[in-house]
Amino acid sequence: MSTTVSQLDKVKTGPWNGGKSPWNLEYGKIMMWFFLVGDAFTFSAFLVYYGAQRFSHPTWPDPDKIFQSIPGIADHGQPLVFVGLMTFILIMSSVTMVLAVEAGHRNQKNEVVKWMLWTILGGICFVGCQAIEWTHLHHMGFWFGKNPATGLEGDAIKTALLPYFTHDISYTSALQFANLFFTITGFHGFHVTVGIILNIIILFMTLNNTFENRGSYLMIEKVGLYWHFVDLVWVFVFTFFYLI
Amino acid sequence: MSQYQDNIAHGEHAHEGGMDKKAIWRVFGVLLALTCLEFLIALGFVHHWQILTKGALVNTIYIVLTLVKAYYIVAFFMHLKFEKSSFIVTVAIVFIFIIYFIVLMLVEGGFLAGAFQEHQLFPNK
């Protein structure tokens, strides 16, 4: 008598046949990834629209000529230096976040707290720098729906916008630049602010021994994913708004 | 539930993929170096010494450097490189749509730039 089981009746044991975690990832972490993919679409839509506007205008303001100040040090003639500092702060805070995650893997509560504090400090510095930059641009006359020539007539428009253009001068493109700059950096700044709040929450959870008792610092990893994503978006914003 | 989480936590350690402190600082060094290179081009070559002018070449260099930085952030800081390959595909494949969208909208923008100039408006009188 044969005991062979037919092919159909065999119990399937592949990774996708149930009873296993095929990706070996916790639910919340997968959902954070999927949220970030969705968020990537939102930011892409913003940046792609910015690109489409730039391509459809015969001329565009020169970022080198708009971002020229270092608040408190120089009002003029220092292109890109301040935004360089902001970029450095954000990359640095991304590093301290990974270090917090790494300390979490080793269940070193005090190290997690230390690196989380640095991360929060970096985030606050970044948002602070952004606030200063927005204020400076507002003083120059840029704002949502406004550029330095808004309300002027005739040749005064040209004179007001001359400092910001290398090629032909266009009121409309200066206006679109202002709108898109404040919308996109504003949306990014909003993300950083949310990230800081999440970081503060998990810092207090760490101090409260929540993760210690749970036996895993996985929550730090999940919030860390969000924080790195914010850094990732900045890399693109920096290139497309400030460099190109 | 808790046992399931334990399994996951152990699994995570099992495929840790060597992101120790040294590796983290190495990735940081790469990101910093690439950013410095961007500034060297922007402030040095283009602005100060004026060896290069802003244009297709410089922009291509910036975009390539940006994509390399993005790779390092996603692969190492976000740890994606060390996940299961099916998960990497799941997360990454949707960017085909974004690439398509970029091409679509930039072509459209470029078309409009020409079309607005070529064809004047006729007053409806």
Token pair of B17 as six digits: 């993929």
pLDDT in tens, A125-162: 999 999 999 999 999 999 999 999 999 998 999 999 99
CB contact under 8 A, A52 and B38: no
Instruction: Please provide the size of chain A in residues.
Output: 244
Domain count for chain B: 2
Euclidean distance between CA atoms B94 and A39, whole angstroms: 12
Same domain, B42 and B53: yes
Sorting pLDDT into bands at 50, 70 and 90, what band is B17?
A: low
- B8 with B20, same domain? yes
pLDDT computed for residue B19 by the predictor? 80
A98 to B66: CB separation less than 8 angstroms, yes or no:
no
3-state secondary structure of B70: helix
Domain residues for B96? 84-125
Q: Identify whether residues B15 and B45 lie together within a single domain.
A: yes
Q: How far apart are the C-alpha atoms of A238 and A83, rounded to whole Å? A: 8
What ipTM score was computed for the predicted complex, to two decimals?
0.90
- B29 CB within 8 Å of a chain A CB: no
Q: Are residues B52 and B90 in the same domain?
A: no
Looking at residue A73, its pLDDT comes to: 82
Q: Do B112 and A56 touch (CB under 8 A)?
A: yes
Per-domain residue ranges of chain A: 27-243
Closest Cα in chain B to A96: B24
pLDDT at A8 over 60: yes
At A50, the amino acid letter reads: Y
Task: Tell me how far CA of residue B3 lies from CA of A13, A19, A159, B6, B8, in angstroms.
Answer: 20, 13, 70, 5, 9
A-interface mutation test, from B45, B77, B91, B112, most A Cβ less than 10 A away: B77
Query: Could you tell me the pLDDT band of residue B3, with boundaries at 50, 70 and 90?
Result: very low
Lowest mean pLDDT of A41-45, A53-57, A103-107, B14-18, name the range: B14-18
Q: Are residues B74 and B109 in the same domain?
A: no
The distance between the two most distant Cα atoms of chain B, rounded to a whole number of Å, is 79
> Where residue A17 falls among pLDDT bands split at 50, 70, 90?
confident
State the pTM of this model. Answer: 0.90
Residues B51 and B102 in one domain: no
B90 lies in the same domain as B59:
no
Whether B30 has a pLDDT exceeding 80, the answer reads yes
Residue of A nearest to B60 (CA): A244
| Superfamily per CATH, domain A27-243 | Cytochrome c oxidase, subunit III, four-helix bundle (1.20.120.80)
Cα–Cα distance, A173 to B43 (Å, whole number)? 24
- Helix residue spans in chain A (DSSP H): 27-56, 63-66, 81-105, 109-140, 155-161, 171-207, 210-214, 218-237
B84–chain A nearest CA distance, Å: 6
Task: Please say whether the beta carbons of A101 and A163 come within 8 A.
Answer: no
- The CA distance from B12 to B22, in Å, is 19
